[in-house]
Amino acid sequence: MVIEMWLDNPCWQYFCGYEYFQHSFPLDPSSLVRWRKRIGNDGMEFLLKQTLMSAKCSGTLTKRHLAKVNIDTTVQEKAICFSTDARLYHRMLEHLVSQSKISGIPLRVRVSKRALRKQGGYTHTSQMKRARKQMKKLKTMLGRVMRDIRRKFGEDPDLELLRLLSLADWLITQQRKDKNKLYSIHEQDVECIAKGKVPKKYEFGCKVGILTTSRDSWVIEATAFHGNPYDGHTLEASLKQMEALTGWIAKDAYVDLGYRGHGYEGNTQINIVGRGGKRLTRSQKRWRKRRAVIEPIIGCEHRML
**pLDDT tens by residue, 225-255:** 888 888 888 898 899 999 888 888 999 999 9
Per-residue model confidence as pLDDT tens digits over 271-294:
888 877 677 888 888 898 899 889
Q: Which of 80, 87, 108, 301 is nearest to 190 (CA)?
A: 80
Region of poorest pLDDT, from 37-51, 60-74, 103-117: 103-117
Instruction: Please provide the average confidence, as pLDDT, over all residues in the chain.
Output: 86
* Residue 300 binned pLDDT confidence (cut-offs 50, 70, 90): low
- pLDDT, one tens digit per residue, over 56-82 is 899 888 888 889 999 998 888 887 777
Measured in whole angstroms, how far is the alpha carbon of residue 92 from the centre of its chain? 22
**Taking a C-beta distance cutoff of 8 angstroms, is the pair 256, 273 a contact?**
yes
In this predicted structure, the answer to whether residue 196 has a pLDDT above a threshold of 80 is: no
Spell out the domain ranges in the chain.
Answer: 1-32, 41-78+193-303, 85-186
Paired strand residues for 209:
73, 223
Percent of the chain predicted with pLDDT > 70 = 97
**pTM, to two decimals:** 0.74
Per the model's pLDDT, the better-predicted residue between 108 and 60 turns out to be: 60
CA dihedral 135, 159, 106, 169 (to 10 degrees): -20
Quote the crossing angle between the two packed helices 128-151 and 159-173, to the nearest 10°: 150
Task: Give the torsion sign (CA, 285, 64, 219, 26).
Answer: positive
Task: Provide the β-strand partners of residue 11.
Answer: none
pLDDT at res. 129: 94
